[in-house]
Structure 1
């Protein structure tokens, strides 16, 4: 009977069970957390007893899903070139450690939700076959929260090209980059880990959104970052609006217009302009620069009572670091007819 048991032992080799066995150890992080679509490296080392194998026997390592049968189910990764791996983990799960050097490290690329679960390492050498079932790893796949980084000038100048760079250093493989904007004409150059977008913004692009989206290979999950464009431009669309007397009606005037007022009639003149950075608004009477009015409304000039000394040319100027714009108005006085 003892001889029969020894013969059976020689045929079957060493079979690992759910409990640790003397001479067989495995060191690995038990809980692995990775975001969907990303990669994770799992360091792993193992040892085994010198039983039923010779130095000439190759060391074969395998990673299996919990519950798999090692004799018939495909592993998720192996260094055995004659063993097919699970179809959905092929080219994504890699046994990158060298089992010949007691290294069972696992690399997982482009993780998917379905990859979540527990896995165990299986050793084969000569007649030794052993499952390290007591020290399995559990993979947790969470939602992707990482977002791409966008490098861009704090201020873009209208009419001049600028480069914006989008990159995702946390991504593995070759992610796909795409850009989306409401106004800017998009033309980008993509590399494996980044995308360079060249834009030539216009004034109307100021304050609009620009989005860089990254799509990860394999999983197809996407993540994005949106920035708001700050486009600088010279003053434009300078407008002059007048308010006569107590009349609430307003009149928008063209540059160089002439306006006739009755003597002692009041007048308010308001300049508005579109610019970034905001333009400084000022008034001049002839060649005389008027002191800024203590008014909560920039660009507002008030003449409480029209006198002959106010006759002449008033000019409103809007100026910022990129340029200026001017608009003038000629005022004429009409004396009141006291017989009325």
Structure 2
């Protein structure tokens, strides 16, 4: 194959005409054909017509092996010479009129190579046009394309087109056929005048089923096919909300109504995701539907920077398209530090239901950790008095002293 580029360059530089004592032939020096398809090579020639004998034309293929110069007859109008190509090569036109076009059907990889034309007319005209050869380059197999120009709606008629991008001049017209489960019902119809056009009325259960278009040029020829999966329109489903804070930590992923408790000043990201065909329009609202105003969001992402107590409440994400809608809500409660000393990075706690608390918020205060747990204590930003703080510190000190006393007595008892 390394010799092919040099061979093509030599042919293109020498031109496609050969003139020798009245012999002349015009043909393309290089022809490309796709495997399994058909190719037409236009050709005309001239020769000295001094004899009344019949004119015969012959197309020969040269061996692709450099050490073997054997020539193979592939097409002729002389039926006494039977070519070995079984009718796939045809000499098109009458050589007596200077016509020498070549038609090749069901092109195969083994057809690639160099071809030349020869004319015979009695004893005086026997000439091979070896200066005007044709090189046939066979390319890879191509598949048809299936186009669905608009969404397929359940129980509505839609159009599916099968397109095969190839040139069919002087070649057999392609035949189209369809295959797939949707064709076994009355919900499909193939156009009589355009078999490449299919009308279908899919149902929701036809989602992701296979549909195949097949193309064939001859009854015994190669079959070209393409398979796609149908995308039938459906209402939004699998709606979920992921809630995270500014550092990317995911607090919760939910698909049903839920409650979330966060610390005042934290920045939240609420991302809403749903699946549907056609794509879902996502929107966020605050407060009960449908009177609530729509919040500014992009692609289902709602940002709440440095949340404050007046921003707590119910947030609802709604997914909607032409076939239906789905929504999910989250109730956010904002907790404050309640004047328990200097600000320290607190841990947060999340409640999956108003009746139960799964975690807690802890603030370090002078070496002590004040922990709120067990019950859903309401969040409040009202400052607590100093007596509350003193009592909490005393209580913690007493508990620590009791622990140390118990530990000391136990150690003395077992050390005796």
Tell whether the 8 Å contact from 2:44 to 2:99 is kept in structure 1 after alignment.
yes
Tell whether the 8 Å contact from 2:61 to 2:114 is kept in structure 1 after alignment.
yes
User: Per-residue deviation at 1:86?
Assistant: 1.4
Structure number with the higher strand fraction is: 1
- Counterparts of 1:92-241 in structure 2 under 5 Å? 92-115=88-111, 116-125=113-122, 127-144=123-140, 148-153=144-149, 155-157=151-153, 162-168=158-164, 169-170=166-167, 172-173=171-172, 187=183, 195-196=196-197, 200=202, 233-240=234-241
Number of residues of Structure 1 aligned to a counterpart in Structure 2: 299
- Counterparts of 1:288-299 in structure 2 under 5 Å? 288-293=291-296, 298-299=301-302
Between the two structures, name the one with larger relative contact order (CA 8 Å, sep ≥ 6): 1
TM-score (normalizing by structure 1): 0.61
Tell whether the 8 Å contact from 1:175 to 1:192 is kept in structure 2 after alignment.
no
Q: Any gaps of 5 or more consecutive residues in structure 1?
A: 1-18, 68-72
Q: Distance in 1 between matches of 2:250 and 2:74?
A: 80
Is the alpha carbon distance of 1:40 and 1:252 closer, same or farther for their aligned partners in structure 2, counting shifts above 3 Å? same
TM-score (normalizing by structure 2): 0.52
Is residue 87 of structure 1 aligned with residue 84 of structure 2?
yes
Q: Any gaps of 5 or more consecutive residues in structure 2?
A: 1-17, 64-70, 333-353, 355-375, 393-416
Is the alpha carbon distance of 1:122 and 1:139 closer, same or farther for their aligned partners in structure 2, counting shifts above 3 Å? same
User: Per-residue deviation at 1:216?
Assistant: 7.3
User: Per-residue deviation at 1:303?
Assistant: 9.7
Is the alpha carbon distance of 1:267 and 1:235 closer, same or farther for their aligned partners in structure 2, counting shifts above 3 Å? farther
User: Per-residue deviation at 1:219?
Assistant: 8.3
Is the alpha carbon distance of 1:98 and 1:283 closer, same or farther for their aligned partners in structure 2, counting shifts above 3 Å? same
Superimposed CA distance per residue, residues 94-121 of structure 1 (whole angstroms, 9 cap, x where no aligned partner): 2211123232333233333333223231
Cα RMSD after superposing both structures: 5.3
Alignment partner, residue 39 of structure 1: 39
Q: Distance in 1 between matches of 2:62 and 2:272?
A: 76
Is the alpha carbon distance of 1:194 and 1:141 closer, same or farther for their aligned partners in structure 2, counting shifts above 3 Å? farther
Is the alpha carbon distance of 1:193 and 1:321 closer, same or farther for their aligned partners in structure 2, counting shifts above 3 Å? closer
Is the alpha carbon distance of 1:191 and 1:39 closer, same or farther for their aligned partners in structure 2, counting shifts above 3 Å? farther
Tell whether the 8 Å contact from 2:62 to 2:72 is kept in structure 1 after alignment.
no
Alignment partner, residue 325 of structure 2: 324
Name which one, 1 or 2, has greater alpha-carbon Rg. Answer: 2
Superimposed CA distance per residue, residues 117-139 of structure 1 (whole angstroms, 9 cap, x where no aligned partner): 232312234x5441234544232
User: Per-residue deviation at 1:150?
Assistant: 4.0
Q: Distance in 2 between matches of 1:240 and 1:294?
A: 14
